[in-house]
Structure 1
Amino acid sequence: MTSLSEKLSKIWRALPFVGDAKPLVSVIELEGVIGEAGAGRKGLTLKRLEKSLEAAFKPSSLKAVALAINSPGGSPVQSRLILSAIRRMATEKEVPVLAFIEDVGASGGYILALAGDEIYADDSSIVGSIGVISGGFGFHEALKRVGVERRVYTAGENKSMLDPFKPEDPADIARLEGILLALHEQFIDLVKGRRGDKLRGDADLFTGAVWTGPQAAENGLIDGTAQLGEFLRTRFGKDVKVKRIAPESGSLIKKLLSSDTAQSVGLSSLIDAEELIAAGERRALWARYGL
């Protein structure tokens, strides 16, 4: 059902002294690690992006919504939630979605790209990493050296699975591998469901490997190599109007950090320590792709 505002907009554009408006494309910036990330909560989550997505799909005269993606991955759950939200809005508004990978669209970052009806990347972009990883450390030998005894009490035999302060248990490893394999199958099904016959049939695309833009295009993971601005001008004309929308920044924690109260109670030092750890985790994700 056409809304009153859409009817009025159509009438206005039809007036001889107005003419058609410039074609409009909303660009949603999806940059960074996916999921909660430290005290500043800088990661990409559906909660953080909801208002941006609504704003991007709101205009009635949209030609398309473009996704500017630069992400090494992160939470598979948040990746899928964001993808689902974009696809739902695209279907409701009947607007095509174009995904553009910048430096990296890998792992969860590639899941974000799958929200696009078409996917493009730069020649030097890193694309793929269709796999699942879990990492950690073991400290049980260190505890022995410093003479510390680990005491843990549980109700439920698997409650302390993969405790980093205990030796690895083969049963725990087997359970974790089962979870990783299930998540990997979900990822593969998602890629096949979104890319379909575009995927190169004789290539093993699901080993966790990554490719450059041209290689990804050859394998069918993307539709070609292109840069967002030039592509939009070519497809929609040189007068295309681009409306960039970035996720909300800032948080209550950041506001507290800037206040005298935070300094007086020592809150900032605690949050700084958490952010330092989170920054290390984010750095490790980017470094995996040489960035």
Structure 2
Amino acid sequence: MALPSYATTGEKIWHYTYLTICSLIFLFLIAPILIVIPLSFNIEPYFTFTKKMLSLDPTGYSMRWYDLLLTFGMIAPDAPRDASWWADAWENAKWINAAKNSIIIGFFSTVIATTLGTIAALGLSRPEMPFRRVIMATLISPMIVPIIIVATGLFFFYSKISIQDWGIPYLGVVLAHATLGIPFVIITVTATLVGFDHSLSRAAASLGAGPTRTFFKIQMPLILPGVISGALFAFVTSFDEVVVVLFVGGLDEQTIPRQMWNGIREQISPAILSVATILVVISVLLLATVELLRRRSERLRGVTPR
């Protein structure tokens, strides 16, 4: 915000000091990302900037680490890149398999978290709901409790019920990630319901609409931006989570974060930087989507976006 023309010298000094402090904090937070992205194009197997990179020599940059994401674990990585090569990559490349597992687990855990979290938020938004604060605190506790404690509890619980013997792939990890994603859905949907006019639901009921029809025709269109935002947060939480997967995931349930963990522990490779760069791009796109949905929600509620 620009300073008014009548601002005093002290106000001007504080204004520019405040902007400088905010800029330094922002630079401190984003510096690791700014470093990781160019390093992922380093032609050398180092985690530092080479002389060629610092001098912007094109020979110092390469896509070799992004290519390694496709070939690592393949049976014949040097074969001609025809249909059989891509089939080999799809079946055997470790990073591609990790990406497939992450997408599958993230999708189903997001569906479960979004469904249960939306139902919980609708119930908690009603004033006649008893013990609302206690229930709310319990439901969002996975967000507050250290993840290592949640992972340990899930490990012993799954061992007790022998969930690995149920024969359902990814079940344990999907339920665990859904547990971690539910608080985000509850918070975003509850925030959307703050401005919801409940007289619309009562009007629909007075006109003969049942609870299900009222929800899908009245409530859902208005709270949809909040539901989608919560789903995106739940998906990102699942896509980036590694501790729970280490505790409850099977050997064939390698996700991208777990594969990155294995890569750091076994053999440090700049391919990890390539994966990190891709995840940063995905996160930025998801955050941009959340911001667009937030503005749409404000327009629907008659609030002017800032």
Which band: TM-score by shorter chain?
A: under 0.3
Question: Which one has a bigger Cα radius of gyration?
Answer: 2
TM-score by length of 2: 0.23
Structure holding more strand per residue: 1
TM-score by length of 1: 0.23
